[in-house]
């Protein structure tokens, strides 16, 4: 008989979540190996796996000889056909959609560029893409389990409302209310950089790190903080708005309204500004000819290509932005003492030039002279980090409370 109330029910859920987590990380794995990994006894593992098999969360995928036990053992894995997950990132100028199966394997994805940033337009387009992804996902992997949406702004998670997204120029947009009319599943709305931090921890460069600072530098600077393995949201859910830390009290006006925010000094816009100013000052650069034809054409990739050809203006602009990134990251390291700092977002395309400048700045400002270098890593998932983070959020929720 299953006991679902009181402490035993709580314990059972915890054990199930633990087994689920190990299945995601180590599959294919046998019951005996799961018992070793989780520290649970074999009978408990067999019992829980029985429930997971019965509810089709898990499937048998072959056998192995367990040398320690000296016998053949059945191997188990997450059943990818148990359902599908949808995740979207709404950015400044794009919508990115990922659909995965229950084993978090991507089965469909699309990145669509958009010029119109009005909430009505972006949400209608996102809905259209999510519905398309759902049709494909459900056909391949079974019923939709949950939807996640990442946005570059301050989110009220209780109501699923974007309170303020400076770079999209949105205020009080009730996203969950709009989506809930079309999806009956749970819907998670979160800051995109916070999702990206989760994505990097679960699927990317930060796998295995429990104290992690994620910095996403693009149109603005966002971030995410993982403390003791858990995402840190702060009292009201607005933590990690690193881009709006004041670094220059007399600096230029930020999209948020303040003066001298970090992102006015070290974002993509700041990098472009450096290039334009150098050209206006008459400095010689490979980028000059390209911009003469189309001033809007400048991209981070173009600046990287110029830097690779030793273009002095591109190199100097990247060094300057790297230095400002380093100044901000140094302060964050001093506050949070993370095991690793993961650098993502559009500017991570220029990682080969930015990371050395960031590291140099960190070394200059490091408190302990003999301390080892802070681990500074480039994000793995690139432009998909936030959408994969949404998948990680869904998984975390399913893992913590399997619907059995
Ligand atoms: Zn700001």
Mind listing the pLDDT tens digit for each residue in 162-204? 999 988 999 999 999 999 999 999 999 999 999 999 999 988 8
Do residues 119 and 229 share a domain? no
92 C-alpha to center of ligand 1: Å?
A: 16
Mean pLDDT on 16-44 = 89
Which residues fall within 8 angstroms of residue 169, CB to CB, at 6 or more apart? 117, 255
Q: Does residue 1 lie in a domain region?
A: no
115 C-alpha to center of ligand 1: Å?
A: 23
247 C-alpha to center of ligand 1: Å?
A: 10
Asked if pLDDT for residue 403 goes beyond 80, the answer is no
352 C-alpha to center of ligand 1: Å?
A: 27
CA distance 309 to 315: 9
221 C-alpha to center of ligand 1: Å?
A: 9
Over residues 260-297, the pLDDT tens digits come to 999 999 999 999 999 999 999 999 999 887 777 666 78
335 C-alpha to center of ligand 1: Å?
A: 20
Q: Which residue has the higher pLDDT, 229 or 221?
A: 221
Domain boundary, last residue among 19, 54, 78? 78
258 C-alpha to center of ligand 1: Å?
A: 5
Which residues fall within 8 angstroms of residue 70, CB to CB, at 6 or more apart? none
CA distance 195 to 394: 11
CA distance 355 to 347: 10
pLDDT at residue 244 in the model: 95
CA distance 265 to 321: 7
Please give the structure tokens belonging to residue 304.
């990287």
CA distance 93 to 90: 8
Q: Read out DSSP for 367-404?
A: SSTTPPPPEEEE-SSGGGHHHHHHHHHHHHHHHHS---
Over residues 60-109, the pLDDT tens digits come to 999 988 777 788 889 999 999 999 999 999 988 999 999 999 999 999 99
28 and 74 Cβ atoms separated by less than 8 Å: no
Q: Which helix (H) or strand (E) holds 197?
A: helix 192-203
32 C-alpha to center of ligand 1: Å?
A: 53
Do residues 217 and 277 share a domain? yes
Do residues 223 and 334 share a domain? yes
CA distance 287 to 289: 6
219 C-alpha to center of ligand 1: Å?
A: 12
387 C-alpha to center of ligand 1: Å?
A: 24
How far is the CA of 47 from the CAs of 19, 128, 402, in angstroms? Answer: 11, 42, 15
Asked if pLDDT for residue 387 goes beyond 70, the answer is yes
394 and 148 Cβ atoms separated by less than 8 Å: yes
206 C-alpha to center of ligand 1: Å?
A: 27
CA distance 123 to 178: 8
Domain boundary, last residue among 55, 78, 101? 78
Domain count along the chain: 3
Mean pLDDT on 137-148 = 96
**Percentage of residues of the chain with pLDDT beyond 70:** 95
Residue-range definition of the domain harbouring residue 252: 207-379
Mean pLDDT on 289-312 = 86
Do residues 55 and 110 share a domain? no
pLDDT at residue 374 in the model: 67
Mean pLDDT on 386-399 = 89
User: For the CA atoms of 93, 214, 221, 169, what is the dihedral angle to 10 degrees?
Assistant: 50
Do residues 366 and 390 share a domain? no
Please give the structure tokens belonging to residue 180.
């809930």
pLDDT at residue 399 in the model: 75
Q: Considering the entire predicted model, what is its pTM?
A: 0.84
């Amino acid at each position: 008989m299953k006991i679902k109330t009181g402490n035993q029910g709580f314990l059972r859920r915890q054990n199930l979540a633990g087994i689920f987590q190990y299945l995601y990380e180590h599959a294919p794995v046998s019951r005996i190996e799961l018992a070793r990994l989780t520290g649970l006894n074999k009978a408990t593992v067999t019992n829980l796996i029985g429930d997971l098999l019965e509810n089709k969360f898990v499937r048998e995928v072959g056998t192995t000889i367990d040398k320690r036990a000296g016998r053949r053992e059945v191997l188990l894995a997450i059943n990818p056909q148990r359902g599908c997950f949808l995740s979207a990132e709404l950015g400044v100028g794009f919508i990115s959609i990922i659909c995965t199966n229950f084993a978090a394997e991507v089965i469909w994805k699309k990145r669509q560029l958009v010029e119109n940033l009005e909430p009505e337009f972006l949400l209608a387009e996102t809905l259209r893409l999510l519905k398309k992804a759902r049709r494909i996902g459900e056909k391949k992997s079974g019923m939709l389990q949950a939807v996640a949406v990442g946005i570059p702004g301050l989110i009220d998670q209780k109501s699923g409302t974007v309170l303020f997204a400076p770079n999209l120029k949105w205020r009080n947009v009730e996203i969950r209310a709009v989506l809930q009319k079309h999806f009956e599943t749970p819907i998670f709305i979160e800051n995109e950089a916070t999702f990206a931090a989760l994505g990097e921890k679960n699927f990317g460069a930060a796998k295995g790190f429990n104290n992690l600072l994620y910095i996403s530098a693009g149109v603005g600077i966002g971030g995410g903080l993982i403390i003791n393995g858990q995402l840190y949201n702060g009292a009201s859910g607005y933590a990690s708005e690193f881009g709006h830390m004041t670094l220059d009290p007399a600096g230029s006006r930020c999209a948020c309204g303040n003066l001298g925010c970090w992102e006015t000094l070290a974002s993509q816009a700041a990098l472009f500004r450096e290039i334009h100013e150098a050209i206006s000052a008459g400095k010689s650069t490979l980028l000059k000819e390209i911009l003469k034809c189309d001033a809007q054409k400048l991209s981070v990739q173009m600046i990287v290509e110029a830097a690779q050809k030793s273009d002095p203006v591109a190199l100097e602009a990247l060094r300057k932005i790297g230095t400002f990134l380093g100044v901000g990251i140094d302060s964050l390291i001093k506050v949070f003492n993370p095991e690793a700092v993961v650098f993502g977002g559009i500017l991570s395309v220029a990682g080969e030039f930015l990371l050395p400048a960031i590291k140099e700045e960190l070394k200059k400002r490091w408190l302990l002279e003999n301390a080892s270098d802070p681990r500074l890593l480039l994000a793995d998932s690139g432009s998909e980090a936030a959408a994969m983070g949404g998948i990680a959020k869904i998984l975390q929720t399913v893992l913590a409370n399997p619907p059995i």
